[in-house]
Amino acid sequence: MNANQADIAFMLSRQQDNGADFWAKPDGTLIRGGPFSTLEAAYILAELGLNTIDPVLDGAASLIWNAQREDGRFRAAPGGSILPCQTIHAAKTLCYLGFAADARLERTFQHLLHSRHGDGGWRCNKFFFGHGPETESSNPGPTLTALDAFRFTPYANADARLDGAVEFLLGHWQTRAPLGPCHYGIGTLFHQVTFPFLSYNLFYYVFVLSFYGVAKRDARFLDALSVLKGKLRDDQVVVERPHAKLSGLSLCKKGEPSEPATEKFRIILNNLK
């Protein structure tokens, strides 16, 4: 059994963790128990190379589609509010599962394009840290994830509204300050290489922005890229901060090179050619 197969077997062994099939909770919640949640586990398995027509990923995709509303939003936690980050994460996972061109997801992309915040990104009105002036900004984390989903679509590098989201994130590289209702900042934790892409961090930031022309020509992006390059070891990506519950996976062993992560870095370089 190769390393990826062992990692896949481990992820599949956890699919009943939340009490129902495909990492869901019995009430249909798709976002609890991370990284062993429907939205996160399905994405991780796609990164590991599990065939997207595998019955488990097919089942997970069906659960996600069942959570879609008529207006394109996703209710990932039944009974709760429908938050923009839930819709964004659902769209990202479905894109990694090969559904970017699915007509059902077009409703979601249209909703996202029309629901951007004034500064170009995405945010919700749920305030965990009070109502300081920084909470008037978009949430950088969900904004980056939304751009990750949109990179699979014809809208990338063709719709100026996405350029606005890119500019918002490039601006965050300058300010570094915690922004948005969820206080996403650029500090020590952000700079630690993290993989798979489950959080707002340097590696994910550079990877996603490398797909957008307005970023690739920008000094702020090139500065972030330079910082990431400085962390390579023999041209390989070394994971510095794996998710604690995934630390046993060969995909992301702390302090060791990761071939899947290194392949992502090669994609960055290819995007810059």
Residue 2 in this model has a pLDDT that exceeds 70: no
Average pLDDT over residues 150-161: 97
Q: What is the pTM of this model?
A: 0.95
* Angle in degrees, CA 193, 162, 87, rounded to 5: 70
Residue 118 confidence (pLDDT):
87
Q: Where are the domains of the chain?
A: 1-115, 156-273
Whether 34 contacts 28, CB under 8 Å: no
What is the tens place of the pLDDT at every residue in 209-249?
999 999 999 999 999 999 999 999 999 999 999 999 998 89
Residue 168 in this model has a pLDDT that exceeds 80: yes
Q: What is the DSSP string of 11-77?
A: HHHTTTTTSSGGG--TT---SSSTTSSHHHHHHHHHHHT--TTSHHHHHHHHHHHHTB-TTS-B-SS
Least confident residue range of 17-26, 148-157, 175-184, 185-194: 175-184
Residue 1 confidence (pLDDT):
47
Distance CA 127, CA 141 (A): 15
